[in-house]
Amino acid sequence: SQQGEEDPQALSIQEGENATMNCSYKTSINNLQWYRQNSGRGLVHLILIRSNEREKHSGRLRVTLDTSKKSSSLLITASRAADTASYFCATPGRGSYKLIFGSGTRLLVRP
């Protein structure tokens, strides 16, 4: 079963625009991660935010975490065609020995 659910399922924007993806999860967590997957390839870790952090930045990425609402958002600023990919949030499963991925957001950045 999915722990996290991303919204929207698909997003199409123009190059240069910002892209925002949201993730909601069900149980208490100590951290949340975001990964990117280019079509048919392995996932790549983007950023990890801990439960005591509200916001984190990495280059053009900005992640927020609201533990009271059990939600996180990933903002990609000044998007590029190379950002076209699927983006997944991931949270630790029961016992923290497994990482459960959401259903993903498919982002298309049009040149």
Partner 1 sequence: DSGVTQTPKHLITATGQRVTLRCSPRSGDLSVYWYQQSLDQGLQFLIQYYNGEERAKGNILERFSAQQFPDLHSELNLSSLELGDSALYFCASSEGGFNVLTFGAGSRLTVL
In the bound state with partner 1, the residue whose beta carbon lies nearer, of 4 and 109, is: 4
Instruction: List binders of partner 1 among 40-59 (CB under 8 A).
Output: 40-45, 48, 50
Q: Which amino acid is at 58?
A: S
Beta carbon of residue 6, minimum distance to partner 1 (angstroms, whole number): 10
The yes or no reply on residue 31 touching partner 1 (CB under 8 A) is yes
In the bound state with partner 1, the residue whose beta carbon lies nearer, of 25 and 35, is: 35
